[in-house]
Amino acid sequence: MKPTQRELTEWAITQIKKNFKDDVALLIAISGHSLENDCHGECFDYFVPANEKGYKLAQTFIIDGVGHDLYPRSWERIENMANFDDAFTYGLADARILYYRSEEDKKHFIELQEKLKANLQDKEFMLKKALEKLDTAMDIYRTMMFEDMLYKVRMAAGFIARYLSVAVACINGTYFRERLDLETVELAQMKDIPDNFVMGIEAIVKAKTPEELKSLSYQIISTTRKFISTHKTPKYEKVKTPNYEDLADWYEEGSLTWRRIYYHCDVQNYERAFPDAISLQYEMNIIKEEFGLREMDLLGCFDADNLSAFKQRAQELEQYIISEIENHGVILNRYDTLEQFLAKNS
């Protein structure tokens, strides 16, 4: 420890013992976010307040051009770090306790460090976190597509790369330890990363136009999505047997949608055919998952200028669903006439 580091650490501990003995639970140090020729952050990083008064320990100051920030992190925030809901993972994983108010406080902090380590070993948990980071990157991308100013697009692309990098780290059961390095330095050391991922991040860093940044962001998101999808593990719990009576009910209720689609296709009214088509596609996507049905692509052949092929696809899919219902021994409630219906239901 350099002299300045030691003196500042002693100063912070003295302040706690003198003015906040019952109000500050921990003083924490980390490494990895200071320059080689200064001690910013290496003397201490944050403290854990025990009550509202404890927050008053917080100070920011500059010594010989080096900024220091003695700031609070609540137990709740540390819990978020353990659960990978806070990006400052290494601030818990690699933390060193400089001061603790009690053995109980020290034990609680160490337990959270152990929880973080356990989460790293849980592949299902880390996959879930990877998917959350991917979703965040995609949300940023959606907003970025409506931006034109270079600095805003570059910032968005940078955050996309960062969130995707964290997602990849999650898949590898690890986290980033060096705040000052571009993610590619540590990514290159990971065992499993998407194809050309490091090159993609480097390309974003070097890109010069909004259009280039948007294109590169799309490519790296697409690559990461495919990468994560290959790491989804099959679930072996007992699968609930679908009740095809429910599928029959769904079809009977929605059969009118098909009828409307056929009519609007026949009269070439795409304005009315399309709303029904998107609703039906949405519904079929749901029943596909619930009943283990095949992929049902209805909208892929929609053509406002020629609805005949679309009508044929709709007919094929309707017949497919009917056959699935009947092949599972379920009889649809279908009647040729009103008299037939009344005769059976009187």
Query: 231-283 pLDDT, tens per residue?
Result: 986 654 445 688 999 999 999 999 999 999 999 999 999 999 999 999 999 99
Tokens of 330: 């379920």
Tokens 């609930």, located at residue: 240
pTM: 0.77
55-68, pLDDT tens digit by residue?
999 999 888 888 88
Strands 59-63 and 66-72: antiparallel
Model pLDDT, residue 45: 86
**For 284, what's the count of Cα atoms within 13 Å in the CB-facing half-sphere?**
22
**Residue 181 pLDDT greater than 70, yes or no:** no
| Residue 32 binned pLDDT confidence (cut-offs 50, 70, 90) | low
102-114, pLDDT tens digit by residue?
999 999 999 999 9
Tokens of 10: 């002693």
What's the rounded Cα separation, in Å, for the pair 110 and 102? 13
Nearest Cα residue to 181 out of 44, 346, 32: 32
Cβ pair 260, 269 in contact under 8 A: no
**Residue 166 pLDDT greater than 80, yes or no:** yes
Model pLDDT, residue 279: 94
